[in-house]
Amino acid sequence: MIGRSKGKSVDRPDGTPQRHTTSGFEVETVYDAGALDDWHPGTELGPPGDYPFTRGPYPTMYRGRLWTMRQYAGFGTAEETNGRFKALLAAGQTGLSVAFDLPTQMGFDSDHAMAAGEVGKVGVAIDSIDDMRRLLDGLPLGEVSTSMTINSTAPLLLLLYELVAEEQGVAPDKIRGTVQNDILKEYIARGTYIYPARPSMRIVTDLFGYCAAELPSWNTISISGYHIREAGSTAAQEVAFTISNGLAYVEAAQAAGLDVDTFAPRLSFFWNAHNNLFEEVAKFRAARRLWARLMRERVGASNPASWKMRFHTQTAGSTLTAQQPLNNVVRTAYQALAAALGGTQSLHTNSFDEALGLPTEASAMIALRTQQILGFESGVADTVDPLAGSYYIEALTNAVEDGATALIDQIDALGGAVAAIEAGFQQDQIEDAAYEAARAIDGADQVVVGVNRFTVAEEPETPVLVVDPALELAQRERLTQLRAARDAGAVDQALADVRAAAQGNANLLYPMKAALQARATIGEISDVLRDVFGVYQR
């Protein structure tokens, strides 16, 4: 059995030093059958594809279909990002993943004062349907699935994607992908929120309802632990806070009148693959098992598809170092291995130069090749859940589940995820964990190769991708031309319809779609909602 421990390590009775996982679980020198004496009732392994899905959501897993290799990309203009997508698809990538710049994420047009200096910097700038057409030009939207990392403005980007797919003649049931749409973790860890939590939850559930009616193959949310982990949480905290958020979305959707067995099968999750290989494998298995149990026993979902946790994984950006950046290729490969051993459905591998800037085309190609080598050369995909039955892995899986369950119980006692966020519970927990991790690195108790051990005096220069500042001026000019060319009266009426829906109870996505089709901008629609809902102040 694995116990939770805090404080400075001391030697064990056998003379070896204590060791702990990132969640503070003490690691024994060796494991045997006694490690499973506290085996949890109802969590026997069973076959993959069967409840509680510890071993995977599908019976054959990668024997039937390899995980989707979905490299995250987005920078500068829509045309530049479109070119990167085409290059990655030609190199064997099997799904698209779009990064948006901060103004797009925050609902500001590129010519807004708040957007100055940020246009196209950490993702692609999308202001209107014209930009989305350029982003997706020539891409086979009926054949690939697309993930979009977007939250506060998620409905707008999804609707723009749908409008362009419609122009390509793609049937609604063939439009496949995921929109992150996870606003709660923005209040906890990331910060790209716009509106207060409760109207934001309405927007989330409106998107659920819209997709249930209009886009049946679209995953309506990617409930994200990734950013919680990037902010400094432990593995157990990542599981607990993410699953608590997931339960809050389910309960909000039910309160809005949606049937759980209609929308729950389209829920997906997004996890971080961090450095501790075995704890990460255990984390994925524990999260899958815990979600299945909660959905069946607590929520009361009756459809087995509602119990299955399907997830995307990204390797840990926070572990990448600017020092000796080529070491990051190795870190990323081991993190990707953990994701595959843990049964991920899709995977993004970070580029080695991301601690320095946006990925270059060469570094993005190495990241993709890392996945391909893992999938086609390593043998990891030959059998399902190959670490199952390991005393250590099963004990760790139990420990992560227990640690996460205890935190979920605390959140429930505070009134659920939204109330706990408003009380600052998750934020305080993450800050404490991040502080302890930083102190361990500063004191060299936690080794970071190339940073606090095995350093070098001089390092060769690494090429860094630079976004041309002229693109911001060009993007502003496009907006000026758009506003001059569109039907201003039609835009005004469409925005008025969005306002009326926001003030009432109608699903917001229908008037939003009409406004975007009339060439209203993301910023204009967001401003209407700011006026009705207000702006969140922490």
Asked if residue 4 has pLDDT above 70, the reply is no
**pLDDT for res 538:** 75
* 436-453 residue pLDDT tens: 999 999 999 999 999 999
Angle formed at CA 131 by CA 514 and CA 135, multiple of 5 degrees: 115
Whole-angstrom distance, CA of residue 386 vs CA of residue 421:
38
Domain at 61-442, CATH homologous superfamily: Methylmalonyl-CoA mutase (3.20.20.240)
pLDDT tens digit sequence for 90-142: 999 888 889 999 999 999 999 999 999 999 988 999 999 999 999 999 999 99
Cβ atoms of 164 and 129 closer than 8 Å: yes
Q: Which residues pair with 99 in a beta bridge?
A: 149
Nearest to 314, CA basis, from 394, 222, 192, 189: 222
**Which has the minimum average pLDDT: 29-33, 183-187, 286-290?**
29-33
**How high is the pLDDT of residue 504?**
97
Among 321-325, 378-382, 458-462, which is the least confidently predicted range?
458-462
Segment holding 243, helix H or strand E: helix 235-255
Please report, rounded to a whole number, the percentage of residues in the chain having pLDDT higher than 90.
86
**Does pLDDT of 2 surpass 80?**
no
Beta bridge partners of 147: 97, 178
Q: What is the pLDDT of residue 8?
A: 44
pLDDT mean over 271-282: 98
Contact yes or no for 118/109 (Cβ under 8 A): no
- CB distance 97 to 146 below 8 Å: yes
pLDDT at residue number 467: 77
Please state the separation of Cα 377 from the chain's center in Å.
27
CB 246, CB 267: distance < 8 Å = yes
3-class state of residue 488 by DSSP: helix
- Residue extents of the structural domains in the chain: 61-442
Mean predicted lDDT score pLDDT of the chain:
93
* Helix boundaries (H) for 414-455: 417-423, 425-442
- By the 8 A CB rule, do 270 and 226 touch? yes
Tracing tokens 């699953």 back to the chain, one arrives at 243
Average pLDDT of 25-36? 88
Q: How confident is the model at residue 7 (pLDDT cuts 50, 70, 90)?
A: very low
Longest CA span, the chain? 80
SS3 sequence, 52-78? CCCCCCCCCHHHCCCCEEEEEECCCCH
State the sign of the Cα–Cα–Cα–Cα dihedral 488, 489, 490, 493: positive
Residue given tokens 């070896």 in the structure block: 16
Plot region of 471 (φ>0 → left; ψ -120 to 50 → alpha; else → beta): alpha
Count of beta carbons in the 10 Å neighbourhood of residue 255: 10
- Note the pLDDT of residue 419: 95
